[in-house]
Amino acid sequence: MALALEEQWIWDFWLARDGAEWHVFYLKADKALGDPELRHRHATIGHAKTSDLRRWDDLGTCFGPVTGPAFDDWTVWTGSVIRDPVGFWHLFYTGTSHADRGMKQRIGHATSADLHNWARVGDGLALDLSGETYEDYLPGHWHDRAMRDPCVIRDPDSTGYLMFFTARVAGRDEPNAGGAIGLARSGNLYDWTLEEPVFAGGAFGQMEVPQVFEHQGRWYCLFSANARDYSEAYAQGVAGDPVSGTHYLMAAHPLGPWRVAPGRFLDGADPCRRYAGKILATEKGLTFMAFRCLDAKGRFVGALTGQMKVTVTEEGLLRLGR
């Protein structure tokens, strides 16, 4: 069963598992805004839980922008949640500020003992861009400075952690060749070091809401992109017209080298039906969820889908359905 709210739109989301319970965190905004495009500047983070991924207990708002001048005093956007070795929960999220007119994204950090009541760590800022590898805000070239949608996992090679995030690399003449998956490292979830991106393959202008996970010895990085984000080279190399939705990268290790999975998007359509997909490892196997974009009449929906079965081919390719 989908998760939908009568008075609010839901879009990007992420999940954490605590024993038998799944917790979903999602961006939401009031439908009273009228135009769903306005939701991005009026977002808060909601929280719901479930034991079967079908029946949801919605707990309402759990996090929002800070009051007063700060890197996240305008918006809080997509993130991820992970638990540390002593059982404390860590939320990493995207923030934008009024001072930057919302054009520069940074990554924030908050903690919680119960997955609902969150407190920022210090001023909340966990990571900012630096150096010449990543692209800063270039008006007229791209619409913002991309540093958002953090996905934090344990480093399989150490006791530390890896953070993947939506980014762009500098020096690309074609705007749609600049999309990248950024990387940062930490030994303790508090102190982060920015690293070179793990993927900057010139395929898309932006690769949103990455989700990195391992399955049967292979590593996958889900990402979402719109039809308008295709680079010229990628559009020419894929059969059919561009679609919007969720696709993925493949690698033998989370640090790469990564490659775009061959063939059509994992879940794509034009106009966009679903976006910001996630794959969950359940007792019944892999399942896929996303948020619903447009209905059959082209109206924005703003709700989470139910589960869709994911199968894996012998070559390691992901497929929706049996």
195-215: pLDDT as tens digits: 999 999 999 999 999 999 999
Amino acid 213: pLDDT = 98
Q: Would you say domain 8-277 falls under CATH 2.115.10.20?
A: yes
Are 267 and 288 within 8 A, CB to CB?
yes
Are 63 and 44 within 8 A, CB to CB?
yes
Amino acid 2: pLDDT = 83
Condensed to tens digits (0 to 9), the pLDDT of residues 128-154 reads 999 999 999 999 999 999 999 999 999
Which residues, in sequence order, are CB contacts of 199 under 8 Å at separation 6+? 180, 181, 207, 221, 249, 256, 258
pLDDT(30) > 60: yes
Amino acid 21: pLDDT = 96
One-letter amino acid at 92 equals: F
> Hey, what's the torsion of the CAs at 104, 109, 112, 117, to 10 degrees?
-20
Question: What's the pTM value of the predicted model, to 2 decimals?
Answer: 0.97
Amino acid 240: pLDDT = 85
Condensed to tens digits (0 to 9), the pLDDT of residues 7-29 reads 999 999 999 999 999 999 999 99
Of the chain, the percentage scoring pLDDT greater than 90 comes to: 97
Strand-pair partners of 269? 244
pLDDT(118) > 60: yes
Amino acid 1: pLDDT = 57
Amino acid 227: pLDDT = 96
pLDDT-based confidence at 43, cuts 50/70/90?
Answer: very high
Condensed to tens digits (0 to 9), the pLDDT of residues 265-306 reads 999 999 999 999 999 999 989 999 999 999 999 999 999 999
Amino acid 321: pLDDT = 83
- Which tokens in the block code for residue 278? 């996630």
Name the nearest CA neighbour of 245 among 222, 220, 265: 265
Amino acid 3: pLDDT = 95
Mean pLDDT of 149-172: 98
Name the nearest CA neighbour of 203 among 144, 255, 271, 259: 259
Place of tokens 């640090």: 255
Domain boundaries along the sequence of the chain: 8-277
Amino acid 117: pLDDT = 98
